[in-house]
């Protein structure tokens, strides 16, 4: 058999496999259900994404994805390959595991930013940053700790590796200190243990000192602990139940000391208070 004929047969086999796959009932639907007309291959692809969402942080092997999504290994592999090619999924070249990729992070962050309390906080932060002509970020609690969901350039370009989707260190960032201040220790303990296991260790006494200070002042600051030469001042945004829903952070160069004068601090705190009250906070 020549190569051309073999390729034609392989393509035909793939087409047949696709058709068989697309006839699988969507998850949660029986064969007797009548869902709205849709592209079933997309629905099946979502099964693969869900399977990866339920996997550990370091990802899953092909057989695990196939089992969780209810597909054969060859079917799961073809979907994974398409997702890898588009950045939705990434594959670890060392161990072959698959995990959600950078584009999946962007999709999640974009969806989260549309949640009403987060949108309000983001709009207030953007107005503040334009007025101050500096850069800032909005963060929420994610699966792995404080996570940046909006990066807003208000006029001061900063060279940094931080971006939407970045996870900030709980023990060494002003954002992290606010989550330690306002969230349950049971909630944050796992992330602290992971950070310490990876080599980032801040003593319990020092963390407690910073927590007490943040509670008294209503904000937290760090200088160069996340990015050398970069300072941050972070303020909390609360909801109607007095829960921390996000943090607003204003960034500056360490030498820009005017960002730590009382008038500037009060302006930043006022923006967070205004956002909190718009959400329903009564404080």
Buried b (16+ CB within 10 A) or exposed e, 97-127: bbbbbeebbeebbeebbeeebbebbbebbbe
The reply to whether 133 and 219 lie within a common domain is: yes
**Strands 98-100, 89-91: pairing kind:** antiparallel
* 36 and 162 in a common domain: no
pLDDT, tens digit (0-9, with 9 covering 90-100), for 247-275: 999 998 888 877 778 899 999 999 999 99
Which domain does 24 fall in, by range?
3-100
Give 45-85 pLDDT, tens digit per residue: 888 888 888 777 678 888 888 888 888 888 889 988 888 88
Same domain, 134 and 72: no
Would the pLDDT of 23 be above 50? no
Please indicate, yes or no, if residue 122 is contained in any of the structural domains. Answer: yes
Question: What is the pLDDT, as a whole number, of residue 109?
Answer: 66
84 lies in the same domain as 127 = no
Alpha carbon distance 77, 46 (integer Å): 14
The yes-or-no verdict on residue 1 having pLDDT over 60 is no
H-state helical runs in the chain: 3-22, 40-53, 62-69, 73-86, 102-113, 116-132, 174-182, 185-197, 204-217, 262-279
Residue 138 belongs to domain with CATH number: 3.30.450.40
Residue 105 lies inside a defined structural domain of this protein: no
Q: In this prediction, what percent of the chain has a pLDDT beyond 90?
A: 36
Average pLDDT rounded to a whole number, residues 179-205:
93
Highest mean pLDDT among 96-110, 150-164, 168-182: 168-182
Arithmetic mean of pLDDT, 99-119: 74
Higher-confidence position of 3 and 68: 68
Claim to verify: residue 16 and residue 56 sit in the same structural domain: yes
Q: What is the mean pLDDT of the chain?
A: 82
User: Which of residues 174 and 96 earns the better pLDDT score?
Assistant: 174
Q: How confident is the model at residue 13 (pLDDT cuts 50, 70, 90)?
A: very low
Please choose, from the candidates 114, 138, 116, 115, the residue with its C-alpha nearest in 3D space to the C-alpha of residue 126: 138
* Per-residue pLDDT tens digits for 118-129: 888 999 999 999
Same domain, 234 and 194: yes
pLDDT of 42 reads 83
């Amino acid at each position: 058999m020549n190569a051309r004929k073999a390729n034609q047969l392989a393509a035909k086999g793939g087409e047949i496999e696709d058709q068989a796959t697309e006839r699988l009932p969507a998850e949660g639907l029986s064969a007797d259900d009548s869902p709205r007309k849709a592209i079933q291959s997309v629905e099946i692809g979502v099964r693969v994404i869900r399977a990866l969402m339920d996997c550990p942080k370091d990802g899953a092997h092909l057989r695990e994805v196939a089992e969780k999504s209810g597909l054969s290994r060859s079917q799961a592999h073809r979907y994974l390959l398409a997702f890898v090619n588009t950045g939705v999924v990434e594959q670890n070249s060392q161990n072959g595991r698959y995990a959600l990729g950078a584009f999946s992070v962007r999709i999640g962050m974009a969806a989260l930013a549309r949640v009403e309390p987060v949108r309000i906080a983001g709009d207030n932060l953007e107005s503040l940053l334009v007025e101050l002509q500096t850069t800032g970020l909005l963060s929420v609690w994610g699966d792995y700790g404080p996570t940046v969901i909006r990066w807003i350039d208000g006029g001061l370009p900063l060279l940094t590796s931080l971006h939407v989707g970045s996870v900030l260190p709980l023990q060494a960032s002003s954002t992290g200190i606010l989550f330690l201040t306002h969230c349950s220790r049971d909630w944050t303990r796992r992330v602290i243990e992971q950070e310490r296991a990876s080599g980032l260790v801040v003593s319990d006494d020092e963390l407690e000192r910073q927590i007490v200070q943040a509670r008294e002042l209503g904000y937290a600051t760090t200088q160069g602990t996340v990015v050398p030469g970069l300072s941050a001042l972070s303020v909390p945004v609360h909801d109607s139940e007095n829960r921390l829903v996000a943090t607003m952070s204003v960034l500056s160069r360490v030498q820009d000391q005017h960002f730590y004068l009382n008038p500037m601090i009060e302006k930043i705190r006022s923006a967070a208070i205004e956002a909190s009250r718009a959400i329903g906070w009564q404080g």
